[in-house]
Amino acid sequence: MSLFEILIDSLCKEGSVREASEYFLWKKELDLSWVPSIRVYNIMLNGWFRSRKLKQGERLWEEMKKENVRPSVVTYGTLVEGYCRMRRVEKALEMVGDMTREGIAPNAIVYNPIIDALAEAGRFKEALGMLERFHVLEIGPTDSTYNSLIKGFCKAADLVGASKILKMMISRGLIPSPTTYNYFFRYFSRCGKVEEGMNLYAKLIESGYTPDRLTYHLLVKMLCEEGKLDMAVRVSKEMRHNGYDMDLATSTMLIHLLCKMHRLEEAFAEFEDMIRRGIVPQYLTFQRMKAELKRQGMTEMAQKLCKLMSSVPYSGNLPNTYGGDREDAFTRRKSIIRKAKAFSDMLKDCKDPSELRQYRNSSENAVSSEKYVMKDIEGKWNSVETSMISVSTQQGAIMGFWNTWDSVCNCSRLFQKILLFFPLQFCRHDNKVNMESNELIYCCHGYINRCNLS
């Protein structure tokens, strides 16, 4: 490959097809006698179709034919795969006809995407017909071809059809891969067919087959969803024995099922193992376990759970609500909302801004960080007071304040000050008071939710 081909190929693979196209056009303008090679066109066509830019790809294809650049089997394979990816199988079949008329024999690059698209669309008769045409070729169908058909049949819940394709695949001397069997396990998991799924799993183990990580994840998911705890625990142990760890989703499902069955010691061990492996459990899982432990009187283990979760790194802008009780948080929430509603009512009834001046000096002892924030806010407000402030401008200023507020630790004092400051500003435009006071309450709710207090 030339340096130019390497450049545009790298850009296309990184998703920067427009930049590659600019270099392509620049080179054509720079040298009017330059005719791009078939390799350059293949790279650009692949880039446009992979980024789902159909119009640009078709435009380049027409330009290529005008330049009398003869397409190769790779070119047609790129076009067919691109059309199939965008569910335009008919157009892909037209391309197969065109390349046959030009004397170019289709190969696996051409047939596999078409068979996959037909099977995905449930058009199995046409897909099997294309498979028969594929058999005529010297190379014949590949394991990817059969996997596409099995995937399509399993998606259509046709287990008999999928089994026939599997037998055909084995009779052709091809060995099914973990991907092949995972399509069956996906079907069993989706339909809740535990017995069939475990029977297939047992047969595979007996025949010396080693499942991959996805196989185990699908099995654990199926068993947890169907409430088969003992089998789920057994499969998870086999999974670890074969060197695979469970991900967040499967571990969470297993913990929830263990809690539901009141096997809390095992649930705690699994929770602890998740943190040891560097996986941060979901907050919902922590809450559920903590509540169940307290309900069963296992307070010591509940305290260990809180300490364990508190050791997990969390954002410094949010309070650590994992340790201790949450009653203070709910009290704080109610207090903030109550003050917001009180000032909302005051704003609605206020006609004279001077009535609210008495509240200005009530929070002179606020921390220094609050003063800096308030100065910034007051400066923003003074800059727009020269003209009638629009509703959207005021709302933007309010939302900007809440973003700044995250950096302040003592929100209760700052909240008191902001509630005292905003009424004086809003009352200067009494025709917008009701809307802005409601916005203030809305912002309070938003801040509380972001602080994880609700």
Q: pLDDT value at position 134?
A: 81
Task: State the 10-residue block means of pLDDT for the chain, 454 residues long.
Answer: 86 91 90 88 92 91 90 92 90 89 86 91 90 77 92 93 93 90 94 92 88 92 92 92 89 92 92 89 89 91 89 57 52 73 72 61 43 49 44 43 41 43 40 43 46 41
Structure tokens at 68: 């009398």
Question: Which pTM does this prediction carry?
Answer: 0.63
CB 212, CB 178: distance < 8 Å: yes
Q: pLDDT value at position 150?
A: 95
Q: pLDDT value at position 390?
A: 43
In order, the DSSP letters of 197-242 are HHHHHHHHHHTT----HHHHHHHHHHHHHTT-HHHHHHHHHHHHHT
- H helical segments located in 313-432: 327-349, 368-384, 391-405, 411-426
406 secondary structure, DSSP code: T
Structure tokens at 49: 């179709």
Kindly tell me the number of DSSP H helices and DSSP E strands found in the chain: 23, 0
CB 6, CB 20: distance < 8 Å: no
Only one residue has tokens 């391309």, namely 95
Q: In degrees to the nearest 10, what's the CA dihedral of 37, 39, 45, 48?
A: -110
Q: pLDDT value at position 370?
A: 44
Q: pLDDT value at position 208?
A: 85
- H helical segments located in 277-367: 283-295, 299-310, 327-349
Q: pLDDT value at position 255?
A: 92
What Rg value do the Cα atoms of the chain yield, rounded? 33
Only one residue has tokens 């400066």, namely 379
251 Rama sector, left if φ>0, alpha if ψ -120 to 50, beta otherwise: alpha
CA quadruple 403, 405, 408, 412: dihedral sign = negative
Report how far residue 273's alpha carbon sits from residue 268's, in angstroms, rounded to the nearest whole number: 8
If one counts every other C-beta atom within 10 angstroms of the C-beta of residue 316, the result is 10
Q: In degrees to the nearest 10, what's the CA dihedral of 398, 402, 404, 409?
A: 140
In order, the DSSP letters of 231-299 are HHHHHHHHHHHTT----HHHHHHHHHHHHHTT-HHHHHHHHHHHHHTTPPPPHHHHHHHHHHHHHTT-H
Q: Which of 4, 21, 3 is nearest to 12 (CA)?
A: 21
